[in-house]
Structure 1
Amino acid sequence: MQQTGAEQCPPSTCDSSALLLGFVNTAPLAGAMDRLAGAEDLSAWLAGTNLADADTPVTGADVAAARELRDAFTMIFRAHSGCEDGEAALPAAEDYLQRMAPRYPLAPRLSAAGCQLVPAQDGVLGAFGALFAAAADLSARGGWPRLKMCKNPTCYTGFFDKTRNSSGLYCSTACSTRMAARAYRSRAKTA
């Protein structure tokens, strides 16, 4: 997505946020299967997002790296949501991403429209680099803190916070309603 650094993400998700949310939402949530369970799954996800060709070789080590990267992004998004476990795990997640970033170098692509960071490698390493490029893009446009994880413990889906003041805690009104009903029942039970 080519935009100037001063532009904000629109209220709807942009390509960068869609890529990162699609990645974290491959986790096994609410009884669903892990969509990065094996090399075939990772290969299919990479091909589905156009980050790599369907015939790009994917190894078990690539799958392990993808899961670790996904977990780090998830913890950061949980911290954006104010989740206690996200706050506690934030230093480890940030440290992990700092250590991994040099493995997936980015290069500037300059054009009349502006500058965009792109992966400097092909294959799986380039695909992981695209995730870092998406994070850099969102950060430059002020959208990074809007990537969050739903605070509903039966959901934990990644979402783009579309609220005006970035105060959203739930991925949907359904999750918000469920949590409000739980809180009401809990208060009524203790009263």
Structure 2
Amino acid sequence: MTMQQTPADDRCPPSTCDSSALLLGLVNTAPLAGGRDRLTVPEDLSAWLAHAGLPGAGTSVTGADVAAARELRDAFTMIFRAHSGCEDGEAALPAAEEYLQRIAHRYPLVPRLDADGCHLVPAQDGILGGFGALFAAAADLAARGGWARLKMCKNPTCYTGFFDKTRNSSGLYCSTACSTRMAARAYRSRVKNA
């Protein structure tokens, strides 16, 4: 993960950057609209790690690893909900930030220097390295100025994680479909109350 400041339209634009895809991939394992949680058993986590190309995919995954992944997912979700201006996200933000600060030492990162710059990479292999890659992705996005653009859709029937591609970082919905649904809902509410 590159630690140098780069413009949004440089080599890895934040909207398509591996770092945002990795973090959004994790938060989007949560159940949506009555769907199934995709991180419930060790096989789920192993499959997600393999799909994401992270360390730990070929190692033995335990129930404790699944619980740790879900806790990480929940903390990132609350931060992304706060980025969207969701009241529950802002209320839960201090606890999510405190949790991430408290556990970060479990997943140390080391700099890797090459011709392209300095990249933070997990210092460990296995599951701990896989979780460390999430912290490296967060650091990469923060360095690129894209951290606050990771959000959760404000449509209460959706709550999908997304990268806000608007110029002024004012996006609230993951898609035009969700935006249209919410605008129609607001219109019906105004007509009903008029």
TM-score above 0.5, yes or no: yes
Task: Give the structure 1 partner of residue 89 of structure 2.
Answer: 86
Q: Gapped runs of 5+ residues in structure 2?
A: none
Once the two structures are superposed, residues 82-126 of structure 1 have per-residue CA deviations (whole angstroms, 9 ceiling, x without a partner) of: 000000000000000000100000000011211000000001100
Contact 2:26 2:73 in 1 (8 A): yes
User: 1:13, CA displacement in angstroms?
Assistant: 2.3
Query: How many angstroms does 1:4 deviate by?
Result: 3.2
Counterpart in the other structure of 1:163: 166
Q: Residue in 2 aligned with 1:6?
A: 6
2:33 is equivalent to residue 20 of structure 1: no
The match for 1:141 among 123, 140, 144 is 144
SS at the partner of 1:183?
Answer: helix
Q: Tell me the TM-score normalized by structure 2.
A: 0.95
The residue aligned with 1:67 is 70
Closer, same or farther: CA 17–10 of 1 in aligned 2, 3 Å: same
Deviations, residues 126-159 of structure 1 (Å, cap 9, x unaligned)? 0000000000000000000000000000000000
Answering whether residue 35 of structure 2 is matched by residue 32 of structure 1, we say yes
- 1:180 matched to 2:183? The reply is yes
SS at 1:108's partner residue? strand
Contact 2:56–2:129 under 8 Å retained in 1: no
Aligned with 2:181: secondary structure? helix
Pairwise CA RMSD of aligned residues? 1.3
1:53: Cα distance to partner? 5.3
After superposition, the Cα gap between the structure-2 partners of 1:54 and 1:106, relative to the gap in structure 1 and judged at 3 Å, is closer
Determine helix, strand or coil for the equivalent of 1:35. coil
Q: Does 1:101 align with 2:132?
A: no
Change (3 A) 1:139 1:11: closer
Q: Where do 5+ consecutive residues of structure 1 fail to align?
A: none
TM norm structure 1: 0.96
The answer as to whether partners of 1:3 and 1:113 remain within 8 angstroms in 2 is: no
**CA distance in 2: counterparts of 1:154 and 1:3, whole angstroms:** 36
CA contact (8 A) 1:117 1:133 kept: yes
Q: Would you identify which runs of 4 or more consecutive aligned residues in structure 1 move more than 4 Å? A: none
Using the TM superposition, give the Cα deviation of residue 55 of structure 1 relative to its aligned residue in structure 2, in angstroms. Answer: 2.7
CA distance in 1, matches of 2:132, 2:2: 17
User: 1:3 offset after TM fit, Å?
Assistant: 6.9
Equivalenced residue count is 191
